[in-house]
Amino acid sequence: MDIKPGLEGVVFTDTYLSAIDGQVGKLSYCGHDIKDLAEKASFEEVTFLLWYQRLPAQSELQMLSNWLRENRTLPKPVWGIMHVLPDSATPMEALRTVASTLSMFDRSCIHEEHGGSSLCRAVSLAGKLPTIVASFDRLRKNKPPIEPHPELGHGANFLYMLTGEIPDEVSANALEKYLILLADHGMNASTFSARVTASTLGDVYSATVTALGTLKGPLHGGANEAAMKQFMEIGSLDRVDAWFDDKMSNGGRIMGLGHRVYKVEDPRSVILRKLTKQVTERQGMTKWYDIAAKLEERALAHPYFQERSIFPNVDYYSGPLLDGLGIPVDLFTPMFAISRVAGWTAHMLEQQHNNRLIRPRAHYAGPTDQAWIEMGTRIAQVEAEPDIQCVAGRPANCPAALRVSVTN
C-alpha cells in the first residue's frame, strides 16, 4: 500500500482559486499573478476575485466594499463575551472562540434575499475578524475598543481600530499588500481542514473555526510568530553570525526558511522583503529587518541551504513588517487569519458547488486477532510517575492503573 504521510503530493479535487508553481516561484489567484495583485489591487478587490473568480467592475467593488464595511461591527452580546474572556486567553484562542459565537447572532444570513447564506456568512466573517482581533488587543490593555471606521479600507481600518489613529498611507498600503499576499495559497493545512468541514455540509462559521484551530499550530500560521521570536532571540546585528553558527552546529531549525512546495524563493517573500525595508526605514526602526537580512545572507551562502534549495518563505519577513506597523508579536497569527478568511470562505463556496464528502482512509498498522483477557488476569501497564494526571479526577485520587504520564 502506497502511503503518503501528511498527504504530500495527493491531489483530491479541482480548484479554480489559486495555483502554485513551486519550480519557478509563481503564485496566482484565479489566473492573476500575485505580483500584479499586490501592486494594483485592494484587499476587497482580491476578496471579490476569490469569491466570484473574476475581477469586479467598479460598481461591484463598491457594492462589496459597502457590504464588508456594514459587517464590521460586532453584535452587542459578543462584546459582552469578549469582556469576560480570561486574562490567560491568547489572541488566537480569543479569535477562535469569539468567531464561533458569531453564528448564534447571525440569523439574517439564513434567508436568500440577504445574498445567500454561505456568501452572506463569508462577508460577515471577513468584516468582523479584524474587529475581534483589534478589540481583544485593546481590552487586554485596559483600553476601550474603537468602533470601525466606515470610510477606511480593510488594512487601514484595522490599524485605526488597533491604535485609534488613522494610519499614514505607506503603513495602510503595506498592510493591504500583506493581506493580499496571504489571502489564499492552494490546499494548505487550514484550507484543507475548512474544506473537510464544508464537505459535511457544515456551515461557514463551523468551517472557519476549524480553519482557525488548524492555523493556530506553530507549523502553519504560528510560524510567522516563531520566525519573529528568533530575530528577537538574536537581539542585535553583531550576534547573527554566532547565533547562526550555533544553530548549524547543534542541528537547530531556522524558522521562516524553506517550504514544502517552493523549490525557489517564495514569491510572496520577495514582495514582503521590499515592503519591510520600506516601512522600517520610514519608521527609523530597521533593527529586525537588518537582523533578518543578515541571517538570510548567512543561510543562503551555506552549503546546507544551497544543496536543498531552501529559501525564505512568507513567514520570514512577515514578522519584521508587522512589527514595523506596530502590531504585537502574538497578533501575527490572527493577522494571518484576517487575510486567509477570504481564501477559506472561497474554498468553502467552491466545495459546496460540487460537493463530495471528504473521507480518506488510513492503513491499520496495529495488532490483529487479539485474545480477550479477563479482568482478573490483566496487568496494569502504567504505573505512578512524578508528573501525572488521571482520567477520573485529580491525581491524588487516582488509582495507580489510571495514572498516565503528562507529555507534550
pLDDT in the model for residue 100: 94
Q: Does the pLDDT at position 47 exceed 70?
A: yes
Q: Does the pLDDT at position 288 exceed 60?
A: yes
Whether 114 is catalytic: no
Catalytic residue among 137, 220, 266, 347: 220
Whether 220 is catalytic: yes
- Assign 105 a pLDDT band (cuts: 50, 70, 90): confident
> Rounded mean pLDDT of the chain?
89
Mean pLDDT of 62-84: 93
Catalytic residue among 259, 266, 323, 347: 259
Catalytic residue among 137, 203, 315, 323: 315
| Residue 390 burial (CB count, 10 A) | 15
Helix/strand/coil for 27: strand
Mean pLDDT of 348-368: 91
Give percent of the chain with pLDDT exceeding 90. Answer: 75
- Ranges of each domain in the chain: 13-223+328-353, 226-323, 377-405
Cα(300)–Cα(305) distance, rounded to whole angstroms? 6
Mean pLDDT of 161-180: 96
- Closest-CA residue to 129 (of 188, 187, 193, 43): 43
pLDDT in the model for residue 381: 62
Q: What is the DSSP string of 15-32?
A: -SSEEEETTTTEEEETTE
* pLDDT per position as a tens digit, 2-45: 877 778 777 888 999 999 999 999 999 999 999 999 999 999 99
Q: Does the pLDDT at position 387 exceed 80?
A: no
* pLDDT per position as a tens digit, 201-229: 999 999 999 999 999 988 788 888 989 99
CB 16 within 8 A of CB 53: yes
- Assign 163 a pLDDT band (cuts: 50, 70, 90): very high
**Cell digits for 33?**
499573478
Q: Which CATH number fits domain 226-323: 2.60.40.10, 1.10.230.10, 1.10.10.10, 3.40.605.10?
A: 1.10.230.10
pLDDT in the model for residue 172: 96
* CA end-to-end span of the chain: 31
Superfamily of segment(s) 13-223+328-353: Citrate Synthase, domain 1 (1.10.580.10)
Whether 259 is catalytic: yes
Q: Does the pLDDT at position 234 exceed 70?
A: yes
Question: In 76-234, which ranges are continuous DSSP H helix?
Answer: 76-83, 91-101, 117-140, 154-163, 169-181, 189-199, 204-215, 223-234
* pLDDT per position as a tens digit, 319-340: 999 999 999 999 999 999 999 9
pLDDT in the model for residue 385: 47
CB 382 within 8 A of CB 365: no
